[in-house]
Amino acid sequence: MKIDLEKEDYIRAFTVERKPDPARSALVIIDMQYATGSRQGALGRRLKAQGSAMADYRFERIERCVLPNARRLLDAWRGARRRVLFVTIGATLPDCSDAPPHMRKLFLELENYAGSREHEIIDELKPVRGEAVVNKTSNGAFATSGIDSVLRAWNCDQLYLLGVSTNMCVDTTAREAADRGYAVTLVEDACGTTQPMLHEAAMINFQRLFGRVRSTEQVLAELAGHA
């Protein structure tokens, strides 16, 4: 799926990009938890037991692209003493009664609730002191977490988003942020989902009007240029 937005989409004529300012930026890492963000987590174990290859692409992309690039970006942000925020998804209560009805079965069957191993951020990306963690029970972080309050307290209005799943929680959170006035960049090679076409479509649609799409290398260059 390749589309030249400059030539094939009228909306690009109305798109305005804001100059990057890493001093006002936050790295936002979304849903990199054991439940669905690791082959060793509940989803991976469940599908393996069923003999299903349905999530093979997902976990291969996480291992090949998402995790190593997330690690590089996280190290760079920490080295530059910039803000880092982790978003998790899952219920607060073990019976998942605090989750929206359409999310409840997913949380219950994958044991994704506060205090469980599945709810934890994967060890390779564990937050350190001074980094915030907010939890959501919905796809979009702005709907059911305190992310907006944290970012505004930090005076961060430029966000670099990565994580899983591209077309669900990452895309929804990114759109919510753009609609609230944040300058949003999706780090394309640090995001992943279940099928390539879902990832590509989300990236194409996001940059039509909501914000930017960049590679890890491009983001690291931006950060270094303003260190």
- In this predicted model, what pLDDT tens digit does every residue of 138-187 receive, in sequence order? 999 999 999 999 999 999 999 999 999 999 999 999 999 999 999 999 99
23 Cα distance to chain centroid: 20
pLDDT at 196: 96
pLDDT at 17: 81
Q: Which CATH superfamily is domain 22-225 in?
A: Isochorismatase-like (3.40.50.850)
Q: Report angle CA 82, 83, 89 to the nearest 5 degrees.
A: 145
- Taking the C-alpha atoms of residue 219 and residue 9, their distance in angstroms, rounded to an integer, is 25
Cis peptide bond upstream of 165, omega within 30: yes
- Taking the C-alpha atoms of residue 82 and residue 86, their distance in angstroms, rounded to an integer, is 13
Q: What is the chain's mean pLDDT, rounded? A: 95
pLDDT at 226: 64
- Taking the C-alpha atoms of residue 131 and residue 78, their distance in angstroms, rounded to an integer, is 10
Nearest 5°: phi and psi at 139?
-65, -45
For residue 11, the number of C-alpha atoms closer than 13 Å in the C-beta half-sphere is 10
Tell me which residues of the chain have a pLDDT lower than 50.
Answer: none
- Taking the C-alpha atoms of residue 118 and residue 129, their distance in angstroms, rounded to an integer, is 22
- Taking the C-alpha atoms of residue 94 and residue 115, their distance in angstroms, rounded to an integer, is 9
pLDDT at 78: 97
pTM: 0.95
